[in-house]
Amino acid sequence: MANVFVDCHCHISAREFVQDLDDVIQRTTQAGVKTLVAVTEDQREFDRVLQLQKSYGGLIAPCFGVHPLQSDEGPDKRSVKPQIGLDFTPWCAPSEQERDDQMKVFVQQLGVAKELNLPVNVHSRSAANVAISTMREQGITGALLHNFAGKLSVAFDGVKAGYFFSFPPAVCTNPQKVKLIKQLPLEHICLETDSPALGLNKHERNEPCNIALVCQYIAQIKGLSTETVQFVTTQNAQRLFTKISQL
């Protein structure tokens, strides 16, 4: 398993991939990606992910949830229930009531994960401290904080709880993340692409095959070989998402 990747958070069911999905999948497997944790943004994608799993077999690991923001643009965009995390940015949750609504559903969904003995894949924009403290209060033992952008002290609280943190290719152009990545133990880091978003160029479609870029960047920051980062992050992903080995 030393020469494979696990993309712990991507949106392979997104409409941006519909036209050339077979080509995208081919590039993905050629890049050494063994598993795509296919995260949904709204319930309309659930069936699509299941169809992709049938088409591409063990490559696709379904991860169901609804993003705190609906995918609709314009005035119809609003906070939704349920969701896979918390988004306390002002344009998403401008009022205390909206933040409270998110919290209620977040706790409910954590309860579902505990009941099913499943890890959680969490969006925590501008809410890292609240997300981690809430998960610890709720007794969550398996969690991934995707595209983590919280403070180092908050991250260490997550490390103490046994949580993992993943970073997409966009981190390679964000010097603010260097200290965070350098200080986080590699044993608590996973790789993701969040494709089709968060690539090196925000104006270009990101793909799962770009996961090698973030692996190389983390290796550079930590002064390690890319092979070491690839091996350890894949082991981390398999420890967190235990069911992917059964796919």
> What is the rounded (10 degree) CA torsion for 80, 92, 205, 187?
-90
Q: Which residues of 109-143 are buried (b: 16+ CB within 10 A; e: fewer)?
A: bbeebeeeeebbbbbbbebbbbbbebbbeeebebb
pLDDT of residue 245: 79
Per-position pLDDT tens, the chain of length 247: 458 999 999 999 999 999 999 999 999 999 999 999 999 887 888 999 999 999 998 999 999 876 665 444 444 443 333 337 777 666 566 678 888 888 888 888 899 899 999 999 999 988 999 999 999 999 999 999 999 999 999 999 999 999 999 999 999 999 999 999 999 999 999 999 999 999 999 899 999 999 999 999 999 999 999 999 999 999 999 999 999 877 7
pLDDT of residue 48: 95
Cα 200 from Cα 46, distance rounded (Å): 28
pLDDT of residue 93: 62
pLDDT of residue 68: 61
Helix (H) or strand (E) segment spanning residue 99: helix 96-116
CATH of domain 5-246: 3.20.20.140
**What is the pTM (predicted TM-score) of this model?**
0.90
CA pseudo-torsion sign 155, 159, 164, 168: positive
Cα 223 from Cα 43, distance rounded (Å): 41
* Residue 70 burial class via C-beta count within 10 angstroms: exposed 0-12, middle 13-18, buried 19 and up: middle
